């Protein structure tokens, strides 16, 4: 696909002094107001080298490039050169590129030869997979898809929380109040009830906490009975988690959790000792990070048991040696900012230069309308219930609007309800900047009006319907997209839509650079709105065959761009709604 910024920079380089074409490309702007042109070049930096006022330089540059066929017109406005593109060339190139690349439109080789690990989701075994987990799960999945699309070899890791004192508590609770039949019937809800009961009882009986720590110590030492119960809890939990992952269409390459690194932590302790980084404080072992304006990092407790930070360092070393990553991305809540700052710094102090390649992608927290969620007190909203609720509401809406009008069969309705309902929940999560905290509200999550997932999916289905109505003409247009007459799609609404489509590859790159899926979410909304305006302003299925071919090709390009954008968010694009 032509990089028009680069092409413009090459033209400008013939008319200015003191800047290379690459430097010019970096300072070319896209005006917020289309009336100011498609691209703008500020001339302030040239004043020193060309020894003229920026306004005078802009005037001479504008005159020098005004006859270039790439532009329909060039204007000087104060110190800016405002350039208006030749619409026919721009639109023709854009729709032809989409027609050729199809599902690969927007894909790049930016990460060719590099490997990126994305760690995301990572729920705790034997605890609910609740609405709070959706953020890491869908944000991480989208980041993985974006990096894959940018040409990286990618590895998806679900770093399960399957180790720690909490399992001592769970085992104690099961032995005191549990039974196998209930766990088999409803693993997570039953184990949650045991966990809640443990904390209720521990308020009156402090010895329970001591018993739990002793039980976990036996688990760490590989005692068969404790290990067997732990493995059973893990297996039953994974069955429940997999059901939710299947609903979301999410897969992982590795489920190696915290327990996987239990035999790899001694190496970390040994290396810390060798580097003289370990200190003893009240019986515990710490790394003093005061010099780096960070609090001390607790490495082992006074009883010798390990902590998250030790396991995370061991995991990072293993991943570097096993995968040789170029990026090691952790999609974990902003609550853990300090934790990541500490252990990234420790890895650096150990002499590993790849510490700089470890990236924490924080996100805001989810709370309930009546306060924060608490697993200990059983105050959670199960993610599976949210997804099922969304599908059910969508089913009702589709039944009213589609079945009654004969648009969808019963089977099509069911499949579409899943795509749209689950897509609505995922889109809601990805539509705002990830760092923002938010309150979970059923009404908001399941609102299908406005700039939502269902709106974008419906726009895709609308474009698909138009294309199905003229399949033969579309086939001719796709067979030779470079031959269409772009005069038929040079209107303002068509051009604005084409500009949004053209920007999609850069949007994907920006989203990857910022680790921010909402950049794509906002853009697909813009493309959907752009297409709906074009659809409203223009009659697409006209009698004139050449005009129809041009308009269908632009419709196809919009539909494909929406589909590719939704795919990067992990959301399906229905052909019918």
Choice among 48, 93, 112, 130 that is catalytic: 130
Annotation says 360 is catalytic: no
Within 326-461, strands assigned E span 327-331, 358-361, 366-368, 438-440
CB 525 within 8 A of CB 558: no
**Spatial CA neighbour of 569 closest among 363, 427, 457:** 427
Dist CA 121 CA 138 (whole Å) = 8
Q: Name the nearest CA neighbour of 410 among 392, 422, 395, 423.
A: 395
Sheet holding 278-281, edge to edge: 278-281, 284-287, 297-300
Distance between CA atoms of 27 and 23, rounded to whole angstroms?
Answer: 7
Q: Note whether 59 and 51 are within 8 A (CB).
A: no
Please answer whether residues 576 and 416 qualify as being in contact, where contact means their C-beta atoms are separated by less than 8 angstroms.
yes
Please say whether the beta carbons of 530 and 494 come within 8 A: no
Specify the DSSP element, H or E, that contains 85. Answer: strand 80-85
- Cα angle for residues 331, 567, 425 (degrees, 5° grid): 65
If one counts every other C-beta atom within 10 angstroms of the C-beta of residue 438, the result is: 14
**Residues facing residue 154 across a β-bridge:** 116
Task: Give Cα 113 to chain centroid, integer Å.
Answer: 22
Q: Which of 528, 552, 390, 566 is nearest to 471 (CA)?
A: 552
State the DSSP code for 256: -
Catalytic residue among 133, 159, 460, 488: 133
- The catalytic position among 112, 127, 169, 199 is 127
Helices 471-479 and 545-568 pack at an angle, to 10 degrees, of: 80
Is residue 133 flagged as an active site residue?
A: yes
Backbone phi and psi for residue 159, each to the nearest 5 degrees, phi listed first: -80, 80
> How far is the C-alpha of 543 from the C-alpha of 559, rounded, in Å?
22
Look-up of token digits 């030790």: 310
Q: Which residue has the tokens 């066929």?
A: 69
- Which residues participate in catalysis according to the annotation? 127, 130, 133
């Amino acid at each position: 696909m032509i990089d028009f910024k680069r092409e413009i920079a090459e033209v400008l380089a013939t008319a200015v002094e003191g800047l290379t074409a690459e430097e010019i490309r970096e300072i070319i702007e896209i005006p917020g107001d289309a009336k100011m042109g498609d691209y703008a070049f500020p001339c302030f930096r040239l004043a020193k080298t060309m020894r003229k006022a920026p306004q005078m330089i802009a005037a001479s540059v504008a005159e020098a490039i005004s006859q270039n066929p790439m532009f329909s017109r060039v204007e000087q406005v104060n110190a800016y050169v405002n350039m208006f593109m030749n619409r026919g060339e721009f639109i023709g190139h854009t729709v032809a590129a989409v027609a050729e690349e199809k599902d690969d439109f927007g894909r790049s080789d930016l990460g060719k030869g590099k490997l990126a690990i994305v760690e995301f989701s990572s729920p705790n075994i034997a605890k609910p997979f609740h609405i709070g987990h959706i953020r890491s799960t869908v944000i991480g999945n989208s980041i993985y898809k974006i990096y894959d699309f940018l040409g990286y070899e990618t590895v998806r890791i679900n770093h399960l929380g399957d180790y720690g004192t909490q399992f001592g508590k769970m085992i104690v609770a099961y032995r005191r109040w549990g039974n196998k039949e209930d766990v088999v019937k409803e693993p997570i809800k039953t184990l949650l009830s045991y966990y809640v009961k443990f904390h209720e009882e521990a308020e009156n009986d402090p010895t329970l906490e001591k018993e739990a720590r002793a039980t976990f110590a036996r688990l760490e030492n590989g005692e068969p009975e404790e290990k067997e119960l732990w493995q059973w809890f893990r297996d039953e939990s994974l069955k429940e988690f997999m059901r939710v992952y299947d609903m979301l269409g999410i897969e992982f390459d590795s489920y190696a959790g915290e327990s996987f690194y239990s035999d790899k932590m001694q190496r970390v302790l040994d290396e810390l000792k060798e580097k003289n980084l370990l200190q003893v404080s009240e019986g515990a072992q710490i790394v003093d990070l005061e010099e780096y304006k960070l609090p001390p990092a607790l490495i082992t407790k006074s009883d010798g048991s390990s902590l998250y930070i030790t396991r995370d360092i061991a995991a990072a070393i293993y991943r570097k040696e096993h995968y040789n990553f170029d990026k090691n991305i952790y999609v974990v809540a902003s609550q853990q900012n300090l934790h990541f700052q500490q252990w990234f710094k420790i890895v650096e102090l150990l002499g590993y230069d790849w510490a700089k390649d470890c990236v924490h992608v924080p996100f805001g927290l989810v709370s309930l309308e009546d306060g924060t969620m608490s697993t200990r007190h059983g105050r959670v909203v199960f993610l599976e219930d949210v997804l099922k609720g969304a599908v059910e509401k969508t089913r009702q809406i589709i039944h009213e609007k589609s079945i009654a009008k004969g648009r969808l069969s019963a089977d099509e309705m069911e499949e579409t309800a899943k795509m749209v309902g689950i897509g609505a929940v995922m889109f809601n999560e990805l539509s705002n900047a990830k760092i923002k905290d938010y309150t979970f509200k059923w009404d908001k999550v399941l609102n299908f009006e406005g700039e939502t997932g269902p709106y974008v999916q419906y726009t895709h289905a609308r474009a698909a319907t138009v294309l199905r109505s003229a399949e033969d003409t579309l086939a001719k247009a796709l067979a030779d997209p470079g031959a269409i007459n772009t005069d038929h799609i040079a209107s303002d609404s068509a051009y604005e839509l084409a500009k949004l489509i053209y920007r999609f590859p850069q949007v994907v790159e920006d989203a990857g650079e910022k680790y921010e899926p909402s950049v794509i979410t906002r853009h697909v909304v813009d493309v959907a709105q752009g297409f709906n305006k074009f659809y409203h302003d223009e009659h697409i299925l006209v009698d004139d065959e050449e005009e129809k071919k041009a308009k269908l090709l632009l419709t196809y390009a919009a539909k494909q761009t929406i589909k590719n954008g939704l795919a990067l968010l992990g959301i399906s694009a229905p052909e019918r709604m």
